[in-house]
Structure 1
């Protein structure tokens, strides 16, 4: 690629591709952009990442070439390039949860310096044989159902759906879940505190309706977290949470001496999800 001209000590700028090189144009653009990213030309202390048209002008190539370069950088996790939106730098997942611990999504959001807020989509009592059975109840047993869109700094983070025995959880119908956790309200209004449970985390492809709720495009994956919450030996909660994969990470710990362990140091923390 040709030499980039820039003021001494300033950003080096774009280097135009060498059309006589055997390396495809898109790969040359990708490599140069990767170098500019490494040099810190873009980001918090630099300029905003250029849009597609700006890159077309900087490199003197077609929009298709720019898109191929961005697609490769996106595959490396360096940029986020979504249809209908300008490309931007990828950032590490903002919310981290320990595996194998009684954790709090509410607390983890605020521990990351974000403001947690929920939009309640459903709060009612209904019958649902599938979830009643998962709670060890008769299929006709009434359940309290709570569905929330969880926000971090007013940006969608998760869709959270919970079912609890209505005979136990009916006082929650009067709770304001805008800025509080389910478990805090459950303890305050019923005296019940969760002591443990079972949880399964898996990667999923969200439905079109779920993508709209979460504000993500079709190429962004999500985590599905299914939890059975227990108070002693009694099932009191079935929860299905769909979390944006670009804002969430799960953490486990291991060592050569102790082997694989799931955040045992945090296992005693009280639930406040």
Structure 2
């Protein structure tokens, strides 16, 4: 029996005891059986603890832990030291790569209520971010920092810098439940037309974990964005998004790699 045949033969709705004469490791058999049971909806929102799985499958705790480690690597189960394993919650907010998107719009499109807690809204000088916007280091910037919530649960920490000469009217805006881009267009007449963005996985600091309400085992996406209006840089943004509530999506085909531009065509990276 090859591995594909074995996987197809795994039954759901109850544990299938591992076959000790099989060439496949016990942990691999248990991993595949648990995956099948999860996908069939057997566990609902609960998940058996290590000791229960040891008894159910008749194997050692080390074997169960290896199976759980593999499921954790797949993003199916969250298994943390000193805490019982639990099913991972699917990411709620999906964003196509390559689009000039608004996190506000993405949250609303997912059927969630978007709200922000404004932590900072002021005018300041910051040579690093001024330089990133192509300005003199002493140029004043409008700085906005928000804790972004989806259904009152923390989703992201969002920090934005814009040229003060352009964005000063935003000091009067109420960002509790609105989009920065909508306010920018309404109060200054400026609309972003494009830019560039880098998305990377990071380990949040303890302070960031507290803000986002996540445990040490949960990673996050860091998004660096330079937003432009025509040829002019008008926004530098750093967003830290919870990895368990947000996912980025791209499309590819035999012809190459396509970024979904949300109705604005596609950008292809061909072979």
Normalized against structure 1, the TM-score is what?
0.79
Q: Does 1:241 align with 2:242?
A: no
2:260 matched residue in structure 1: 263
In 1: Cα distance, 2:78 partner to 2:138 partner: 47
CA contact (8 A) 1:102 1:267 kept: no
Could you list the runs of 5+ residues in structure 2 that have no partner in the other structure? 1-11, 266-271
- For residues 65-84 of structure 1, what are the structure 2 equivalents within 5 Å? 66-83=64-81
> Deviation at 1:182?
0.6
SS in 2 for 1:266: coil
1:55: how far off? 4.2
Q: Find the residue that maps to 2:176 and give its secondary structure.
A: coil
Q: Note the C-alpha offset of 1:252.
A: 2.2
TM-score w.r.t. the length of structure 2 is 0.80
Aligned residues: 254
1:4-43 counterparts in 2 under 5 A?
Answer: 12-14=13-15, 29-43=30-44
Counterpart position of 2:7: none
Question: Relative to structure 1, is the Cα distance of residues 85 and 119 closer, same or farther in structure 2, using a 3 angstrom cutoff?
Answer: farther
Q: What residue is the counterpart of 1:113 in the other structure?
A: 111
CA distance in 1, matches of 2:22, 2:262: 55
Alignment of 1:128-143 (within 5 A): 128-143=126-141
Per chain length, whose mean CA-contact separation is higher, i.e. which structure has more relative contact order (CA < 8 Å, sep 6+)?
Answer: 1
**Cα RMSD (Å):** 2.9
SS, match of residue 94 in structure 2:
strand
Instruction: Report Cα offsets for 1:53-94 as digits up to 9, x if no partner.
Output: 554665577766544432222123221223465432224322
- In the TM superposition, residue 247 of structure 1 has moved relative to its aligned partner by 2.0
Match of 1:222 in 2: 220
Secondary structure in 1 matching 2:177: coil
User: 2:130 and 2:186 mapped to 1: Cα distance?
Assistant: 24
Equivalent residue number for residue 93 of structure 1: 91
- How far residue 19 of structure 1 moved from its aligned partner, in angstroms, is 8.7
Task: Work out the CA distance in 1 between the residues paired with 2:113 and 2:215.
Answer: 23
The alpha-carbon deviation at position 201 of structure 1 amounts to: 1.7
Over 3 Å counting, the alpha-carbon distance change for 1:56 and 1:151 in structure 2 is: farther
Structure 1 alignment gaps of length 5 or more: 1-10, 269-273
